[in-house]
Structure 1
Amino acid sequence: MSDPHYEREAEKYESPIPSREHILSFIQKKPRTKHQLYDLLSLKDEQKRSFEKRLRAMVRDKQLSCNKAGVYRTFSKRGLLRGTVIANPKGFGFVSLDKGGKDLRLSTQQMKLVFHGDKVKVRLLNRKLDAEIVEVSETVKSVVGRLHLETHFPYVVVDDKRIKHNIIITELIEGCEDNQVVIVEILSSPTMISEATGRVVEILGTYLDEGVEVDSALHRHQIPNKFSDIAISDSNKLPTKVLVKDKENRLNISHLNLVTIDGEDSRDFDDAVYAEPTNKGWKLLVAIADVSHYISEGSKLDEEAFERGNSVYFPHMVVPMLPELISNGLCSLNPNVERLCVTCEMNIDT
């Protein structure tokens, strides 16, 4: 079958290659490898390199898809699965599916198209759970890394070992210098033939500057370190000490010498323990600060605490799960003050 668009292609190439339409007419009938297409289209050796470029361009333009075995088929969005990319520092990755179930595998080649944390649509390729990226529905908004200005095109090496892409910088801000740690807004995703692009939006400093490593870690791991105005306002409405009404229907164990196991410089004590010998072994009490007495389920404070999940400790600072008025005050089991607790009493045999 002759190519109906031969004359158009002859204007572009000294040795014309099959048109996209002609290629699709063969693949629509049956998926093919490039070598099968060479034979079917009777390609000469000097045409093969240009033909391979055309196949890659058709994959890029979502006319074709190509699996790990090199089989081309017409692109289709049927049966696509949604999920989030989980990158491995070794270069390969996985897709955690929105619907749950086993993670799908992404080859190092497929990982060239995405960042760790991207939301994607993928196609399952085989029973081994290999997948291919069909569409990046939402890419990461920003990354942190080290700025390099020694080349003609400035670029950033990302400070997350799971992200292998360098970011080509299209826009700098005042004060940018070589080797600074910066935050970059992502402008375009990477492709098989080009790096991602971005612009510098904030300078954190150099790696020798105090606090830069912490700021970098906060951004790299997306740790929220600021509370909303509503959450702060709600925490300010809470009492600073236990009120008489709060003690109703509660057992007073303040006469027991409970101890905490936190360091001397700690300010948020969320649990304490007490133990005494008995005839059969030991009686052990573990007291946990009763945060739920003050924070209602579904409130703004509850939502922001849920988003954090836990407090994060750095060598010289803490990012608390709750505002400090609560984490270091009302719900911290500080010495010589009354606090509301949920306590478990256990009798342990020797």
Structure 2
Amino acid sequence: MNRRLILPVACLLLCGFGTCSQYIEAKQESLARKEEMVKECAVLESRVISFDEERAFGGAVGVRWVSEGGGLTKHADHHALHVQLNKIGKNLAAQSSRPSLPWTFGVLQSEGINAVSGPGGYVFVSEGLLARLDNEAELAGVLAHEIAHITRKHALIEYQKFLVDECRSAAAAEGRRPEKEALKGLVSEVGQAAQNSVAELVGALSWGQWGEVLAQVTRSVNGFNIDEASESIVRAIMDSFLQNLMKKGLGKDDEYAADLDAVELMAAAGYAPEAYVSFLGKLPTKGLSTPHPSNKDRQKRLATHLDELRERGAARDFTTPVDLTRTAVIPLRDELLARRAGSAER
């Protein structure tokens, strides 16, 4: 059935409405509401997300990552591990463009090889990833990559786009609502035989779960506070956003940018950037929490970037205090062993 025929068919058959005039009235109301929602979507797109919302949203994302990762590690040395992890992570974050964020680093029980982050300063690595590390510098590279995603607000930008896209979808669905109701009436009137012929069209006009969610969010879009939103709204946003993010991942440009920032953060913190470049070669091509560009492509871009940094440094009259080729690397395992030995002697 052609969509252009929906109006006359619905009107002629009076499907779902008492009279044709009632259908036309309902259509006018839905179009008026659609126009209001389109305006609300424009406001939503132009708003600036406050730090409070960023932190609250990041906390909700962090809770989901912990849940997805089987909870925080219960390893016998989990306290020492988290102390060391936060020491390394906060040292790197101090070199970033957002050193004052309340950074939090944690280890997940998952045996998968994953590192994830949430807006506001939440970074997690899995036990499976730690098992692949040969030294602290490799861990520093992984943490620096996630820190870069946060400082560049990659997930926050995707969150904003997601809300706007869903808002627009809800607005479009609102404009088609009378036709959808009419088609439902048509199916009930003509029986099962007609159901197959209009089923596809009914699906295309689906109102969707975000109709109610976005209606509430956009009523007070400028003052939207995720902390004050109902639990059902927060759950709907988190479920839909993270499902979408885990399916498609961040853009390739975002991943490349986070890599380039990562090696610079490493150098600023006193780690050899090459350790991260080589570690990328150890990562599996599949099985990460979200899709990523190919490891070889990432390594190639990083090698080129480091060469360019060295060339720039050589052309200057002064040099950075950080030597990109010879920086001391302290293995994480040695640090933990030393801590255990010290505890045993006391």
Measured against the shorter chain, the TM-score band is under 0.3
The TM-score with structure 2 as length reference comes to 0.18
TM-score, normalising length from structure 1? 0.18
Q: Which has the higher contact order (CA 8 A, sep 6+)?
A: 2
Bigger radius of gyration among the two: 1
Answer 1 or 2: which has greater strand percent.
1
